[in-house]
Amino acid sequence: MRSERKKPESDLREYYTVFMELGLIAVLLIFIVAMKMEFVSKQKNVDLTEKQEVVKMEDVIQTKQEKTPPPPPRPQVPVEVPNDEVIEEQNINLNADLNLDQPLEMPPPPKQEKKEEEDFFVAVEQMPELIGGLAKLQKKINYPEMARKAGIEGRVIIQFIVNENGNVEDPHVIRGIGGGCDKEALRVVKQAKFKPGRQRGQAVRVQYSLPIVFRLQN
């Protein structure tokens, strides 16, 4: 048989363990030498503390503000005022005797103004009646020319007092239309005659109102 020759790679495998052991020994020697060496820092010591500025505190002196009183007011200078008024001297008799038995004179009582009482009635048992009726009174009206030209129409109301004799007293217009109609209505009402109003069978004065109509005829 032919002897087989070993490859060089197989021979090198036998030395792996030897190389590994040598490497470990070298590492240990380097570690031991490194542990025995002293590392001395060549750097100088630096003082990190800096000097701080010193601030001096001065004592503050507290002052008091004194209140001074205000000066007194100046005295008023009297001013002479000319006075031409002459004061008459009155003699007062202090020795006059006081008679307590004599009655004292009292001042008169104040005058009371008497209110004028109404001497007429507004409503009575029997109201006044116009003699002849209102239609007869309307026929006495003369239509004023001013009102006719202006076309004024309407109703004028006259208020008055019917006295005990049936006559008209104090007539006045309480509602007018102008144009001369108010004056004409007053003129006609003054001519009116009434049967007087009665209260408990007695003729009395009664307040009365009467309408006077003004109407233009086409």
Residue 203 parent element (H or E): strand 202-204
Contacts of 148 (CB under 8 A, 6+ apart): 216
d(Cα 212, Cα 174) in Å, to the nearest integer?
12
What tens digit of pLDDT does each residue of 154-198 get? 999 999 999 999 999 999 999 999 999 999 999 999 999 999 999
d(Cα 183, Cα 189) in Å, to the nearest integer?
10
Global pTM reads 0.47
Residue with the bigger pLDDT between 170 and 90: it is 170
What does the pLDDT read at residue 126? 93
The CATH number of 129-214, from 3.40.30.10, 1.10.3720.10, 3.30.2420.10, 3.40.630.30, is 3.30.2420.10
Render the burial of 13-34: b for 16+ CB within 10 Å, e for the rest.
Answer: eeeeeeeeeeeeeeeeeeeeee
141 Ramachandran zone, left/alpha/beta (phi>0; psi -120 to 50)? beta
Reported confidence tier of residue 23, pLDDT bands at 50, 70, 90: confident
What does the pLDDT read at residue 1? 45
d(Cα 211, Cα 196) in Å, to the nearest integer?
19
Single out the residue of 122, 141, 134, 127 nearest to residue 210, CA to CA: 134
The DSSP call for residue 191 is: T
Reported confidence tier of residue 138, pLDDT bands at 50, 70, 90: very high
Residue with the bigger pLDDT between 11 and 139: it is 139
Single out the residue of 187, 173, 174 nearest to residue 143, CA to CA: 187
| Positive or negative: CA dihedral 194, 199, 204, 205 | negative
With a pLDDT cut of 70, the percent of the chain lying above it is 60
For the beta carbon of residue 74, count every other beta carbon within 10 angstroms. 6
d(Cα 126, Cα 199) in Å, to the nearest integer?
7
What tens digit of pLDDT does each residue of 67-84 get? 777 888 777 766 665 555
Give Cα 157 to chain centroid, integer Å. 46
Q: What is the DSSP string of 170-200?
A: EEEEEE---TTHHHHHHHHHHT--EEPEEET
Reading the block at residue 74, the tokens are 């100046």
What does the pLDDT read at residue 179? 92
